[in-house]
Amino acid sequence: MNAEWRRLVEAAKEARERAYAPYSRFKVGAALLGASGRIYTGCNVENASYGATWCAERTAVGAAIAGGERSFTAIAVVADTGGPCAPCGICRQVLAEFGQEIAVIMANLRGDVEVRRVRELLPFGFGKEALAPEGVSERDADG
């Protein structure tokens, strides 16, 4: 694992400490690396209705989008799990919106790490190309 990815894992661990998880007590941290080199962090934010809960990965993506970033190279996800912590299906879909080649660095507090690309975690994922009518470029569809 290169130094940049190690820095992401450390940022995700720090974000994990700020998680709001009063129901599950399962704290997750994420750190998303923008193409600009900027790191955006997120943690899970639970809600009593459960369905309104935000995952750490989506919180980080939201922070990045709010910060004006739309291109990402890697994301680290960290939790206190037996093996490396993988993003849930919804988070995989959200990451796929921004690129199939984003490196997903899955880690736990013990130092176990596994790296995969979004395309590996979400084969046959649904993408914006399925929605774009013929003749409309991705840039036109993006607004």
Q: Annotate 58-103 with DSSP letters as a single string.
A: HHHHHHHHHTT---EEEEEEEES-SSPPPPPHHHHHHHHTT-TT-E
Cβ atoms of 36 and 57 closer than 8 Å: no
Strand-pairing partners, residue 20, are: 45
Neighbour tally for 73: CB within 10 Å: 17
Catalytic site includes residue 138: no
Contact 92, 47 (CB under 8 A): no
Catalytic residue among 10, 14, 17, 57: 57
* Catalytic site positions: 57
